[in-house]
Structure 1
Amino acid sequence: MTGPTSPGDRRFGFTDVELVAHPTVFASDLFRGKVVLVSGGGSGIGKAIAVLFARLGAHLVLCGRKPEKLEAAVALLRGLGSDVDAMAMNIREPDEVESLMERVWSRHGRLDVLVNNAGGQFAQPAIDFTVKGWKAVIDTNLNGTWYMMQAAARRWRDRDQAGNIVNITATIERGLPHMAHSTAARAGVIYLSKTVAVEWAPLGIRVNCLGVGAVESSGFAQYSEEGRKTFYESNPMRRPGDVWDVVEGCVYLAGPSGKFITGEVLTIDGGQQMWGDFWSAGRPDYFKLG
């Protein structure tokens, strides 16, 4: 098992072999018979989350925009003995979200956990955002997450079933330069979650967020070399976390361990929210140290 990579290492995240074999603190039958839906489950953190739920006995449903990635993830999960289904779709489209939820309930008759992991952004100074770029990030990270939340909650309500939502967000307390569109959306998701956690408590629905900081995953490769260097300086531990930190945090919130937790943000960032200086597109000359 390899540890966190160095700033110059081009391989980020765990391999499939490592995901399947990595030790976990959770019991192997923790989610036996439960149905878990993971958006953005074809790659990166989403796939890693799906792998652990599969290892813990869950039936998996994956969704994402790229069929080829979903097919590869399905093959991996079935190799673990998991009952898994996948649907290529776009969470920005409410009609496609409705079709996905109908498929889940038609096949399984229930949904126990919804993990909203799908999202996307790009590193750029906010002053240079185009209208199209801004809308794309807001539509995916905020609106798409909401469509998934509401569609699941309505079905839980109408069928008198309990529900559980974990929204994967980011560490945003200090802001994230070059990610203004994403922080706006993620902040919206966090306070949306806190609000509906109260509204939906009488329905037996828990809603929580998982705030991710400097964690190496396959998505980390999108940043420039200079941006990645600041990533390693973004928390007082002076190192990144790994995807397993996020995965086990997600299971903690979704499982019996989180049964009295709702409206909360579990932050996994090595202390980034208190200290750090992360510039995803590289630190501008004005802010360079020394």
Structure 2
Amino acid sequence: MVDEDSAGRPAPPDTPLLDLFRLDGRVAVVTGASSGLGAGFACALAEAGADVVLAARRSDRLHETGDAVARHGARWHAVAADVADPDDCERVAAAATERFGRLDVLVNNAGVSSVVPALRESPGDFRRVLDVNLAGAYWMAQACARRMSAGASVVNVSSVLGLVASVLPQAAYSASKAGLIGLTRDLAQQWSGRRGIRVNALAPGFVNTEMTGEMTDETLDRFLAGAPLRRLGTQRELDAALLFLAAPASAYVTGATLAVDGGLSGH
């Protein structure tokens, strides 16, 4: 078993390698946990031993995620919240410490998308995407960091579209995800040395989820044509990367963006 504070310092050299990926006794918050990647991330963290606070606007679907988390033997608590509201973010973070006594991992996964030509996108539509995807991640990180101790981890879920151009008109979404990568670097600079809180970003490529399910085959083919692996990713492939960034395995990693995109961003 890994010592509870080892995410902030090197693990003992005799620590079994796979134990570095365990989260036993830790508590994670996952936003956007009602479906898609967020629900999968919550289950992955539970499978690794963490108790999980689930946050999303669609509170009815959070209980479905909670049931899945419980099947891994973990405890869970659901909070209906809109991350664009800083007060809601405070409620989510407070729920973790009130229910479970600590807060070790934040997965900033909540997000919305838009596909609108730039000359037709309204100010309100543009602001809404940034309010959720970028500002919401900031408010959640603030609220959680106030309650985290050294060894904690923040994982901001960005996107490959924060690194490369989209084939669709997605100015707001792409700007928000690129901004999240910049936010990650800055928070890592502020918090990692002084507070012992690591901050990293995960940049998924195109994965088989509800969102990609709404795309036409032609659109997906255009996106995947630039990726050396030329296929959709899977939830499990992202789970593994997310767990690496959340767990002591990545104790010497902060301010980084891990692209899990089939090679699209590096091609």
Q: Secondary structure at the match of 2:218?
A: helix
- 1:183 match: 174
After alignment, is 75-84 or 61-70 more displaced? Answer: 75-84
2:198 is the counterpart of 1:206: yes
Q: CA RMSD in A?
A: 1.8
Q: What is the distance in 2 between the residues matched to 1:115 and 1:203? A: 18
Superposition TM-score, scaled by structure 2 size: 0.87
Q: Secondary structure at the match of 2:211?
A: helix
Contact 1:28 1:57 in 2 (8 A): no
Per-residue CA shift, 1:117-167, capped at 9, x if unaligned? 1101122222221122111101000010000011111223xxx54421001
Per-residue CA shift, 1:66-93, capped at 9, x if unaligned? 0121011111211222101111110000
Q: Secondary structure at the match of 2:165?
A: coil
Paired residue for 1:217, among 192, 209, 215?
209
Q: Which runs of 5+ in 2 are unaligned?
A: 1-16
Q: Secondary structure at the match of 1:87?
A: strand
Q: Which amino acid aligns with 2:163?
A: E
Report the alpha carbon displacement of residue 39 of structure 1 after superposing the two structures with TM.
Answer: 0.5
Report the alpha carbon displacement of residue 224 of structure 1 after superposing the two structures with TM.
Answer: 3.6
Aligned residue pairs: how many?
248
Contact 1:142 1:188 in 2 (8 A): yes
Paired residue for 2:45, among 26, 32, 53?
53
Ranges of 4+ aligned residues in structure 1 off by more than 3 Å: 25-29
- 2:61 match: 69
Contact 1:123 1:223 in 2 (8 A): no
Report the alpha carbon displacement of residue 105 of structure 1 after superposing the two structures with TM.
Answer: 1.2
Q: Which amino acid aligns with 1:125?
A: P
Q: Which runs of 5+ in 1 are unaligned?
A: 1-24, 276-290
Per-residue CA shift, 1:192-247, capped at 9, x if unaligned? 11011011121001000011112221221232443233233241221111111111
- 2:156 match: 167
2:172 is the counterpart of 1:195: no
**Structure 1 residues 226, 124: closer, same or farther in 2, change over 3 A?**
farther
Q: Secondary structure at the match of 2:186?
A: helix
Q: What is the distance in 2 between the residues matched to 1:129 and 1:29? A: 43
Q: Secondary structure at the match of 1:207?
A: strand
- 2:263 match: 271
Q: What is the distance in 2 between the residues matched to 1:234 and 1:135? A: 30
- 1:226 match: 218
After alignment, is 160-169 or 247-256 more displaced? Answer: 160-169
Per-residue CA shift, 1:11-60, capped at 9, x if unaligned? xxxxxxxxxxxxxx956981111101111111111111111111111111
